[in-house]
Structure 1
Amino acid sequence: MGSSAAILSLLQTLNLISESDSFLSHSDKLSILVEMDSVDETMAEIPGSKKVDAAAYERRVIDSLLIFLHLIDSHLSDPDHDDDIGFTLSLSQQLEIVQEEITSFFIATDEEEQICSSSSRYSNFASSYYNTENQQQNLLVGLDDQIRELKQWIFDPDSHYLVQSVMGMTGIGKTSLVKQVYNDPLVIQEFETRLFLHIGPDYTRLEDIMLRVLDELGVVIPSDKLDDSDYLEKQLSEALSTQKYLVVLDDVWDGDAYQILSNFPENRKGSRIIIISQIQRLYELIFPHKLIILPFLNDDDSWKLLHQTAFTNREEKCSRELEKIGKKIAKNCEGLPAAIIQVGENLRGKSFEEWKTLSEQEDPLVITRYDDTPLSKALFFSYMMLPQYLKSFFLYMGVFPKDYGISRSKLIKLWVSEGFLETEPGNEETFGYTLDLLILRSVVLRGKHTSVDMYSFKDCRLHFTFRSLCVSEAKSEKFFHILKKYTDCTPENIIMQQRLCVHNNVVLALTQVHEWMESVPNARSLLCFGPKQQYPVLLPFCFRLLKVLDALAIRFYEFPHQLLALLHLTHLSITCDRELPNSISTLSNLEVLIFTRHHNIKLSNNGPIYLPIDIWNMYKLKQLYCKGFDLPPPPDNCHLENLLTVSGVSVHSCTMEVLSRIPKLTRIAVQIESAHDSTETFNFFDHVASLYEKFQSFKFPNFPMNIRKISLSGCGFPWENMEVIASLPNLIVLKLRWYAFCGPLWKTSKGQFPSLEFLLLEDLDIVNLEFDIQSLRWVIVRHCYKLENISNQLKYTKLLEMDDCSPSFMKKVRECQSFSGAEVKISSSITDL
């Protein structure tokens, strides 16, 4: 978990202690916070190779702290708790243990013997890992294109790029690929000098890296010049300036490693430098550069690699039945070569039944910090190398089920609600940058592109190996625990756990499970991710300290009034077939309220259905989603000062009376039932435009002059009405779905859409598109089955995606040369295109 997550738990617990609770003095609170913060800072400053050993001492601190926090939580969750002498004595004794462990941590991390031992241990780790890499090199499959690209750059006499970066997740084959190119006879013949240097995380000084390179070159440096960077740079230049060299810097982490690139002589002999790293943000610091991000293996290559690893003896045969099972196992490895190799080694000589058993397991490998395998060590080391503050964010991603497409917006909502960082209203996108950092460090995988930027992403996921590590670490550190089977719910499994994540809602239908949960009522979060049930199941409401309840996957016939006793709730997501009660305002700490119905049907044809009037008293509310409901006219002097986003309401919520009471609103998604009376329906345009000059996102529809993104669906407007939208100066994204506009021809004029970069057309009856939009960079066309022609004015477009349109038209696009300026991606459910 890392001490940052422990500090988070500590802060949340201390914040729950009221002024009237005298069992913990102010000085004790301050002391333990300062001491834990010092542990955090110390872990951050420990060199990379020593972090693994230091983690063992850190764990002892965290274990003692968790017991301390559990004592407080148990006391606070008891509604009849008294400040009795026994509790205070136990708390005092445990606090002494925490402080003793903190002292032991500092002593252990200061000892020189520990440092030397750690270096040796890291060397063993590195040796073990690279043995696997060498084995992987002998079985290298699926990377022919990347090998070809790297060689082409190496031999290209016209290339002005000195540096090429090879990046990707741990175990994906970066080192293996580069070694294969490095050892190619033609490459050996091409360069006078070749160096393959393992840098590692401990080379944080530029001088040390230069000394390493000079030592490999046989250059002796006087002892009084070891720290003279100018002298070392001069020696490096003299040693290489007359030669054609190939230098590989492998396993580059944070620090000054990249800075050495500016010290290499950039002669005109065709020299080359290759950087191998899993931290993708390094490439931004290397310019000019080229970049290769290694992909995961496809299913065919995965099976090929697994087969080669499991059947090393050519005389061994794989039956058709075993091949079918083996392909399933290979697919479950999710394309990671190192995982496939380890699974293949585990399967050598195993019986058909053992193969079958493995194929039926959720994951083909279980990864923990204690595994003595090269892959587990490498994955755990990648986790330990995360900055301290990122570890909690990373671990939290394990709360989601396997293969769960983690929505960027949902994840950020939960991070904020969990209190991972203090944020001011409107600054939540800071967490989006945090997610980007995890992606760039290759521990989180990208998902779908956003419409605003083809290089940013709507969702993400964890590779099963990292997810397995997250689940293991989180359970042992009481950060979260997953409930999927009956045995997962026993008291010994859930006691002291801060978050309970239900991945099988059926377990909540068991009476025994509810009784067990009631015996350990200290959880701060209850996350129910499904699968969705057709019939209601009971939800335990015994967690009096609960802050986050995500129960969208659970159906309620009636609103469960028991949850109104959970006064600490900041995040509530619930599916209910009835309306919210007026007493919802009892939850005065709510910042996120997501309220949906099991069936999206209109409850009444007699006008709008309003949320309870007391919704206007929920002053801390930041995000509101309530499809099918509207905000009622506000009482006098009531304002939702912190409300930033509103989704699911109708135009009845877009009156001047309502909108003027939400001063910080930045996004609103409006549901339109019909466009037949468009004059009355869209009168609210002027209201929004006049109240929110800096409005940036409005789903269906809104035309303030500074709008950047518009999504329309089901309006049925004629294309002539597009002129108002086409004149918007700052519009970047336009999404038209499900007959938003109707008619066979859409033609734009020069000067329209001056800033439009992204266009989505989906389920429209359009026949001909005639564009003249120079700023347009990305076009997606889906399910437009009548489309016959797109004009050839897309020379500025970088990406054109066609999905399930007319087969004849998609063939025409595939063969047409007029789109040569754009990358064209065509997908279809019809296989003979």
Structure 2
Amino acid sequence: MGGIGKTTLARKAFNDPYTVYHFYCRAWITVSQVYQARDLLLALWSSIAQSTDKMVEKSNAQLAEIVYRRLKGKRYVIVMDDLWSSDAWNDVKRCFPDDENGSRIVVTSRFKELATNVSPKKPPHCMNLLNIEQSWELLEKLIFGTASCPHELVGVGKQIAKRCRGLPLAIVVIAGVLSRDIGAYNCWNEIAEEVSSVVSTDPENCLDILALSYNCLPHHLKACFLYMGIFPEDCEIEVSKLINLWAAEGFLYLNSEKQLEQIGEDYVEDLIGRNLVLVEKKRFGGEVKTCRLHDFLRELCLKEAQKENFMHVIQRRSAKGVQAGTRNQRRLSFHLDPYSHATTAPAIPHVSSFVCFTLGTDIVPDILFFQLGFKLLRVLDVFFLHFDYFPVQILKLIHLRYLALYVTYELPASVSQLRNLQTLVIHGPWLCQESGGRPTLLLEYWSMPSLRHVHVTVACHLKNPFTVQDNLPRPFASEHLQTLYTIQFSSCTKEVFSVMPHLKKLGICETKEDYSIDSFSQVLNNLVYLQELETLECSFHTQNREVRRILGLALLPVTLKHLSLSWSYLPWKYMTSIAMLPNLEVLELKNYAFQGPKWGPTEEGFRSLKHLLIENMALIHWEATIFRHFRCLQHLVLKSCKLLEKFPFGVENLQRLEVHYCSGPIENSAKEIQEEIEGIDVIIRSDRFQHSA
């Protein structure tokens, strides 16, 4: 049954360090009740190759052949989670070559008959409900960790555990409720009585148990939780996007001490702590990158949202759902098939969010702008809808706060009319004629007083906020702008940065058009105007391999907490300036960010560094001692450092060590640490099969 722990068990085996080391290729795909074979094939390729570039143009047969060839001759493990029909298995099984080399395929399903069909020679492993002792052990561990439950709560605690009927999901969720009131006997007793009243002999009534956790949420978190139901089943939800959507809807209550983004992060952590939201991925540095809802919890979202008239989800293969039940809805989410045809719809004037997870353009002309009659729209996410032109109707959405588009055209300057816009997300192969093929943001961003986040997937050129005739700032500076990705080096000017003094995250990319030998020095000179910058991601043009004459590296803002460099080919002597950044916690050095065979850090530096990534570098001798040169370092990752001869002394003092595709001596040393040193999490990924790739 759902929530019994199938996915949890599979994920623990999948992520176990020995599994990571043993299998050359690992892939995890979630199937679910409603699936498309193409989605499964793309997910397989994305897991194996870490990219889907140019794959969207392939047919299903071509994708299957590409996946088969990538797996051929390699030892792999594939997990197909939440399988509901034999059709899904039949659609992808031809992708898996059987070379009798110990490869494995793991399938989770609620149906024993389906499992037997998938693997007729091997009986399935049937999960059992927990007994009373196991239930109490799990509940106590989730609430108190390694400590013991207070004696006065043991009796009522065991009563609660017993009434969860052995369902791990119910126990986990109830633990999230109880952990908020540790030691409150009356609260525990009330929950015990409620559990008893809603749990019958049918364990599928778990939804009522989950509702207990929802009912215990404060009012502001209820809205945030229900809003997560707009995403499709088993969707991996990007936390930063979720927070921006919450902000656009007005769910985040601003106070004088914290900004909107910090409040949103607190809300996410609260929902995770209550076990209503599951962590999917973390960023290098420890922050939660993506999350997801368990199937049961999403069902609860949809149930409560329908009850409260909070949201309407139009499911795949049900375009008729647009016709009914939507008139008074506040939020719409489309999960249609790409070939669905929905050509009529009633006007829906009160909608505040319109989010579409539908590929194609069939629903655009008749539904999206002309018939729905949006007047109060705050969120418009149509990334999956491909327009050949900018829909001018968007300019009439004066309340719009969140806009996500997939574009193949120049974004008009008239977007600046959206004075309430907080987040602008632009994807796609952006075509531009006026700037010679390089996209340009023509919008007058400095005159958009609410703008907080700009995400552009292609390195673009920003329009200068000053003109020759006017050397003064515009009346409305972009005081709230927090995030800007991705702009060219040539846009990193004094004029651009001076109108965004509170910028915290910046992504810049050197292009062939703006390359010069001292381009980075010019950028650094202007970073002085970003006095609150915390994250800087900088990538240079890969074809330019000259040694750079960078004189201003010491001008990096002292506020930086996260720095990422790629393709810069800097001499190691310039690392001294980076090492002296007092607040730097995360450092990512990728693709020859520094060059030279020897790196000897200074003892005075890296006072706050906790996470260090070195990837694809020609480093041979790393002459350092962790507890002297990297006193706070917790997490070290080495990737594709094939020339490195040995670790710096003292890596056994780390909390986590990862070695991917490095030299034999480094791998052997990591294995010794893994076997001999307790308290350090060691992950090793070997490239011994790389010749067959």
In the superposition, the TM-score normalised over structure 1's length comes to 0.54
Q: Which residue of structure 1 aligns with residue 331 of structure 2? A: 499
Whichever residue aligns with residue 350 of structure 2, its letter is N
Whichever residue aligns with residue 492 of structure 2, its letter is C
Which of 180, 197, 215 aligns to 2:155? It is: 197
Which of 646, 656, 662 aligns to 1:789? It is: 646
The 5-angstrom pairing of residues 296-315 of structure 1 reads none
Q: Which residue of structure 2 aligns with residue 713 of structure 1? A: 566
Which of 437, 461, 466 aligns to 2:292? It is: 461
Provide the aligned C-alpha RMSD in A: 4.2
Are residues 138 and 784 of structure 1, via their aligned partners in 2, closer, same or farther at CA, if it must alter by over 3 Å?
A: same
Bigger Cα Rg: 1
Q: Which residue of structure 1 aligns with residue 496 of structure 2? A: 658
Q: Is the 8 A contact 2:500 2:530 kept in 1?
A: no
Q: Which residue of structure 2 aligns with residue 754 of structure 1? A: 607
Give deviations 1:536-588, integer Å, cap 9, x for gaps.
Answer: 96571132321101122222232222222222211101110111112212322
Shift of 1:406: 1.4
Are residues 501 and 534 of structure 1, via their aligned partners in 2, closer, same or farther at CA, if it must alter by over 3 Å?
A: closer
Q: Which residue of structure 1 aligns with residue 344 of structure 2? A: 515
CA distance in 1, matches of 2:598, 2:414: 52
Q: Is the 8 A contact 1:201 1:253 kept in 2?
A: no
What secondary structure does 1:197 align onto? helix
Q: Is the 8 A contact 1:621 1:640 kept in 2?
A: yes
Q: Which residue of structure 2 aligns with residue 623 of structure 1? A: 453
Whichever residue aligns with residue 429 of structure 1, its letter is Q
CA distance in 2, matches of 1:656, 1:577: 30
Q: Is the 8 A contact 2:309 2:329 kept in 1?
A: yes
What secondary structure does 1:698 align onto? strand
Q: Which residue of structure 2 aligns with residue 565 of structure 1? A: 396
Q: Which residue of structure 2 aligns with residue 446 of structure 1? A: 279
Which of 508, 521, 530 aligns to 1:682? It is: 521
Shift of 1:446: 1.7
The 5-angstrom pairing of residues 386-785 of structure 1 reads 386-423=217-254, 426-452=259-285, 454=286, 456-488=287-319, 489-504=321-336, 506=338, 510=341, 513-516=342-345, 518-530=346-358, 532=359, 538=365, 540-541=368-369, 542=372, 543-596=374-427, 598-599=428-429, 609-612=439-442, 614-626=444-456, 627-635=458-466, 636-638=472-474, 639-673=477-511, 677-689=516-528, 691-700=529-538, 703-772=556-625, 773-785=630-642
Q: Is the 8 A contact 2:311 2:329 kept in 1?
A: yes
Q: Which residue of structure 1 aligns with residue 656 of structure 2? A: 799
CA distance in 1, matches of 2:556, 2:521: 10
Shift of 1:386: 1.8
Give deviations 1:616-649, integer Å, cap 9, x for gaps.
Answer: 3322212222333222221444122322221111
Give deviations 1:161-197, integer Å, cap 9, x for gaps.
Answer: xxx95117xxxxx99x99xx99xxxxxxxxxx99841
Are residues 535 and 735 of structure 1, via their aligned partners in 2, closer, same or farther at CA, if it must alter by over 3 Å?
A: farther
The 5-angstrom pairing of residues 141-152 of structure 1 reads none
The 5-angstrom pairing of residues 287-298 of structure 1 reads none
Shift of 1:414: 0.5
Whichever residue aligns with residue 136 of structure 1, its letter is L
Unmatched segments (≥5 aa) in structure 1: 1-134, 151-163, 169-173, 183-192, 203-248, 261-274, 279-340, 346-370
CA distance in 2, matches of 1:136, 1:534: 46
What secondary structure does 1:630 align onto? strand
CA distance in 2, matches of 1:564, 1:692: 31
Shift of 1:823: 2.3
Q: Is the 8 A contact 2:440 2:463 kept in 1?
A: yes
Shift of 1:784: 3.5
The 5-angstrom pairing of residues 165-176 of structure 1 reads 165-167=140-142
Q: Which residue of structure 1 aligns with residue 71 of structure 2? A: none
Q: Is the 8 A contact 1:505 1:528 kept in 2?
A: no
CA distance in 1, matches of 2:328, 2:602: 65
CA distance in 2, matches of 1:647, 1:548: 20
Q: Which residue of structure 2 aligns with residue 823 of structure 1? A: 681
The answer to whether structure 1 residue 258 and structure 2 residue 89 are counterparts is no
CA distance in 1, matches of 2:454, 2:175: 48
CA distance in 1, matches of 2:180, 2:637: 41
CA distance in 2, matches of 1:250, 1:501: 31
CA distance in 2, matches of 1:476, 1:194: 38
Whichever residue aligns with residue 521 of structure 2, its letter is F
Shift of 1:760: 1.6
Give deviations 1:226-262, integer Å, cap 9, x for gaps.
Answer: xxxxxxxxxxxxxxxxxxxxxxx999727765278xx
Q: Which residue of structure 2 aligns with residue 366 of structure 1? A: none
Are residues 743 and 506 of structure 1, via their aligned partners in 2, closer, same or farther at CA, if it must alter by over 3 Å?
A: same
Give deviations 1:372-410, integer Å, cap 9, x for gaps.
Answer: 844222111121122232111111112112222212211
Shift of 1:659: 1.3
Shift of 1:820: 5.6
Q: Is the 8 A contact 2:409 2:431 kept in 1?
A: no
Shift of 1:201: 12
User: How many residues get paired?
Assistant: 505
Shift of 1:678: 4.1
Identical amino acids, percent of aligned pairs: 29
Q: Is the 8 A contact 2:635 2:654 kept in 1?
A: yes
Shift of 1:719: 2.8
Are residues 400 and 677 of structure 1, via their aligned partners in 2, closer, same or farther at CA, if it must alter by over 3 Å?
A: same
Q: Which residue of structure 1 aligns with residue 49 of structure 2? A: none
Shift of 1:777: 1.0
Shift of 1:695: 2.5
Q: Is the 8 A contact 2:220 2:252 kept in 1?
A: no
Whichever residue aligns with residue 757 of structure 1, its letter is K
What secondary structure does 1:167 align onto? helix
Whichever residue aligns with residue 671 of structure 1, its letter is C
Shift of 1:658: 1.7
CA distance in 2, matches of 1:668, 1:620: 18
CA distance in 1, matches of 2:335, 2:445: 31
Shift of 1:733: 0.9
In the superposition, the TM-score normalised over structure 2's length comes to 0.64
Q: Is the 8 A contact 2:453 2:484 kept in 1?
A: yes
Whichever residue aligns with residue 663 of structure 1, its letter is P
Higher helix share: 1
Are residues 557 and 462 of structure 1, via their aligned partners in 2, closer, same or farther at CA, if it must alter by over 3 Å?
A: same
The answer to whether structure 1 residue 814 and structure 2 residue 652 are counterparts is no
Shift of 1:738: 2.9
CA distance in 2, matches of 1:520, 1:641: 34
Whichever residue aligns with residue 498 of structure 1, its letter is R
Which of 195, 215, 237 aligns to 1:384? It is: 215
Are residues 831 and 461 of structure 1, via their aligned partners in 2, closer, same or farther at CA, if it must alter by over 3 Å?
A: farther
Q: Is the 8 A contact 2:176 2:213 kept in 1?
A: no
CA distance in 2, matches of 1:197, 1:581: 66
CA distance in 2, matches of 1:556, 1:680: 36
Q: Is the 8 A contact 2:634 2:656 kept in 1?
A: yes
Shift of 1:699: 2.1
